[in-house]
Chain A
Amino acid sequence: MSFLTYLINGLSLGSIYAIIALGYTMVYGIAKMLNFAHGDFIMVGCYIIFSVSAALSGNSVIGIIVAVVLCTILGVTTEFVAYRPLRGAASPLAVLITAIGVSYLLENIALLIYGADIKSFSSVITWEGVSFAGGQLKIQGVTIVTILVSVVILIALQLFINKTKQGQAMLAASEDKGAAALMGINVNRTIALTFAIGSSLAAVAGALLCSAYPSLSPYTGAMPGIKAFVAAVLGGIGSIPGAMIGGMVLGIVEILSKTYISSQLSDAIVFGILVVVLLVKPTGILGRQMVEKV
């Protein structure tokens, strides 16, 4: 029974990683850049929900809506101001470093506004959850909601990309920006749209992250962000189902390795498994094989 409990905890953690990884992978797939500031968008989302809920005496639904809207605006603005000028730069590292700059910037703004001390976040999900086997196996509401939300987002994204014109434009832009532009696709607008979607996902991820682990500081998003990045790579970066699988695998491995091997070395074990997986499948679980042309 306790194995099941651990597994569910792993799924819960994994689905949070998955939602963050979806945002990472969307942006990477289309803009071909690692948005290191993605984790900090999550943190911004959390603080917005925190502030709005406090101002409206606990109404978290409005808080989430405001957070999604503001994070979307933040994402699009960041793309326009900091990332777009560097599109087509001589090295892809340029935009990576800029993203790190944005990450520092957001963390330090939050530090100035909210201070460094942690704040306790009231869960946006008030449902207690369900219990089985006479209370021996308890699944928390937030766990169920997180898993459901991640699945819904996954399906919605797949439908959007495969069935809508905008989604097809994204696919085209990810394949070949030049050719897509020639076909009449506004590449800049498509990338901005990607950032909008990625950042709004960050706000949702923030709400769920802080509901499951209710402690909020300017650095809340950094570590989950990097773990989700690992998850996205594990699943095959650029692949949307891959991000989902990568996130789940990472979450479960993290919890199970802490449980059965060593809590001291769990970080090492998680990263060790990543190394092993990438050695067997060098482009991640669902990644496409890159064909090299001379």
Chain B
Amino acid sequence: MKKVKRVLGAALACVMSVTMLAGCGEGAATATTGGSGSGTFKIGAIGPLTGAAAAYGNAVVNGAQIAVDEINEAGGINGVQIEYKSEDDELNAEKSVNAYNTLKDWGMQLLVGSTTSACSIAVSEYTKEDNMFQLTPSGSAEDCVKYDNAFRVCFSDPNQGIASAQYINDHNLATKVGIIYDNSDVYSSGIYQKFVEEAEGKNFEVVSAEAYTQDNNTDFSVQLQKAKDAGADLVFLPIYYSDASLILTQANTMGYAPTFFGVDGMDGILSVENFDTALAEGVMLLTPFAADATDDLTVNFVKKYNEKYGETPNQFAADAYDAVYIIKAAIEKAGATPDMSVSDLCEALKGAMTQIETKGLTSAKMTWDASGEPNKEPKAVIIKNGAYVSAD
């Protein structure tokens, strides 16, 4: 009896796993060939929607959603509606590939994602294989766009590091610079590396470069104290606003007030709930997007985002919003139709991307070359009276 039960148990488990697999196999028929046939463009987005980086993924997904809604309301792309779906990757490259495959089963033709660099690189291996058009809103590592089917909206990490060093040099902002960066993060250490390389021969000196990790991101007293002891009059923070808000608070309590200089990850610091914006007074950042810019596009976007999600959008949301409009522009340029196969669509858009010139939240003028890098000017802004003001 016992033996029978055991064998039965094992057999049952086997059957169960297979049915679990099969249960999800239903969508398989439409999966690989693409071409939704239903007369809509299917756009997918991937980002961390749960886990420690969920704030960024949600921003991307929501930002893209607003653009999709707007386009659909206005009659779609060349009269074709967009279908939109997002998947969670938990900031995990493996899960990101799973998310990509899920979206493929759904019939995705165009990918807005992934949100983060490592995930974006992992997914690009697969989009390359499938020849699917990939536009990452915020994957900033160099390798994110190494394939010709991948493009991005944001600046690349090296680009930001170099631009920051040049900006500090050109505007004589400091003589001694301290850096605090996240040693466990692709984005942060990428910018840090290029910044230090570029700083050679500039009119300032890097006097302290201290790291922290995501496992160790509560206490910044040491890093700040070292910058202070080294006499840094500017502290460069190539990190995200969530950690930066803590650094600003701690610097304030220890009575250290250098100029803080951030990059695009710093955007969003003013909308941290309950954050004392006085602490961010005088913080400079190179960012393509500022939520309180007064142009119609930004005002409209921020208003809609606020209504829908009860938050002020950050740079991630803006990049994703632009990404959808960029896809729209490219489709219109290429005259692509939804019945094209994924690969044909990709080929058409690849060509169109280098010809279009778009205006968006993150730049008044964006163009691309075949490398996938955007050409746009970084804007320097400074925080004054709790608001972003153009620094130039």
On whether the beta carbons of B273 and A119 are closer than 8 Å, the reply is: yes
A118 is contacted by which of B50, B55, B219, B229 (Cβ under 8 Å)?
B55
Chain A residues with CB under 8 A of B276: 120
Cα–Cα, bound, A217→B56 (Å)? 13
Interface residues of A in 83-142 (CB under 8 A from B): 108, 111, 115-122, 135, 138, 140
Tell me, rounded to whole Å, the shortest Cβ–Cβ distance linking B188 to chain A.
Answer: 12
The reply to whether the CB of B1 lies closer than 8 angstroms to some CB of chain A is no
Cα–Cα, bound, A172→B276 (Å)? 50
The reply to whether the CB of A78 lies closer than 8 angstroms to some CB of chain B is no
Interface residues of B in 242-277 (CB under 8 A from A): 242-243, 245-246, 249-250, 253-255, 272-276
Chain B residues with CB under 8 A of A57: none
On whether the beta carbons of B274 and A122 are closer than 8 Å, the reply is: yes
On whether the beta carbons of B222 and A263 are closer than 8 Å, the reply is: yes
Interface residues of B in 198-218 (CB under 8 A from A): 210-213, 215-218
B212 is contacted by which of A120, A209, A263 (Cβ under 8 Å)?
A263
The reply to whether the CB of A219 lies closer than 8 angstroms to some CB of chain B is yes
Cα–Cα, bound, A235→B245 (Å)? 33
On whether the beta carbons of A255 and B272 are closer than 8 Å, the reply is: no
On whether the beta carbons of A213 and B218 are closer than 8 Å, the reply is: yes
Tell me, rounded to whole Å, the shortest Cβ–Cβ distance linking B74 to chain A.
Answer: 29
On whether the beta carbons of A111 and B50 are closer than 8 Å, the reply is: yes
Interface residues of A in 22-77 (CB under 8 A from B): 50, 54
Tell me, rounded to whole Å, the shortest Cβ–Cβ distance linking B306 to chain A.
Answer: 14
Interface hit among A1-9, A182-190, A192-200: A1-9
The reply to whether the CB of B176 lies closer than 8 angstroms to some CB of chain A is no
Interface residues of A in 225-253 (CB under 8 A from B): none
On whether the beta carbons of A224 and B218 are closer than 8 Å, the reply is: yes
Interface residues of B in 50-100 (CB under 8 A from A): 50-55, 57-58
On whether the beta carbons of A263 and B242 are closer than 8 Å, the reply is: no
The reply to whether the CB of B385 lies closer than 8 angstroms to some CB of chain A is no
On whether the beta carbons of B274 and A259 are closer than 8 Å, the reply is: no
Cα–Cα, bound, A6→B221 (Å)? 8
On whether the beta carbons of B246 and A217 are closer than 8 Å, the reply is: no
Are A223 and B218 also in contact (CB < 8 A) when A117-B55, A118-B245, A214-B249 are? yes
Measured CB to CB, the nearest residue on chain B to A122 is B274
Are A264 and B246 also in contact (CB < 8 A) when A118-B55, A219-B52 are? no
Chain A residues with CB under 8 A of B274: 50, 54, 119-122
Chain B residues with CB under 8 A of A79: none
Cα–Cα, bound, A67→B218 (Å)? 22
Chain A residues with CB under 8 A of B57: 116
Chain B residues with CB under 8 A of A214: 246, 249
Measured CB to CB, the nearest residue on chain B to A128 is B253
On whether the beta carbons of A138 and B255 are closer than 8 Å, the reply is: yes
Tell me, rounded to whole Å, the shortest Cβ–Cβ distance linking A181 to chain B.
Answer: 35
Measured CB to CB, the nearest residue on chain A to B273 is A119
The reply to whether the CB of A175 lies closer than 8 angstroms to some CB of chain B is no
Select the residue from B54, B219, B311 with max chain A CB neighbours within 10 A: B219
Chain A residues with CB under 8 A of B211: 263-264
Are A259 and B226 also in contact (CB < 8 A) when A117-B55, A119-B272 are? yes
Select the residue from A5, A9, A117, A138 with max chain B CB neighbours within 10 A: A117
Chain B residues with CB under 8 A of A115: 55, 58, 311
Measured CB to CB, the nearest residue on chain B to A270 is B216
Tell me, rounded to whole Å, the shortest Cβ–Cβ distance linking A226 to chain B.
Answer: 8
A223 is contacted by which of B215, B242, B254, B272 (Cβ under 8 Å)?
B215
Cα–Cα, bound, A266→B221 (Å)? 14
The reply to whether the CB of B341 lies closer than 8 angstroms to some CB of chain A is no
On whether the beta carbons of A111 and B273 are closer than 8 Å, the reply is: no
Question: Interface readout for B95-131 with A: 1 if CB under 8 Å, 0 if not?
Answer: 0000000000000000000000000000000000000
Chain B residues with CB under 8 A of A217: 52, 55, 242
The reply to whether the CB of A258 lies closer than 8 angstroms to some CB of chain B is yes
Cα–Cα, bound, A111→B49 (Å)? 10
Chain A residues with CB under 8 A of B243: 215
On whether the beta carbons of A267 and B245 are closer than 8 Å, the reply is: no
Chain B residues with CB under 8 A of A6: 221-222, 225
13 contacts across the A-B interface (CB closer than 8 A): A6-B225, A9-B219, A118-B245, A120-B249, A120-B275, A122-B274, A213-B218, A213-B250, A215-B249, A223-B217, A255-B219, A258-B210, A263-B222
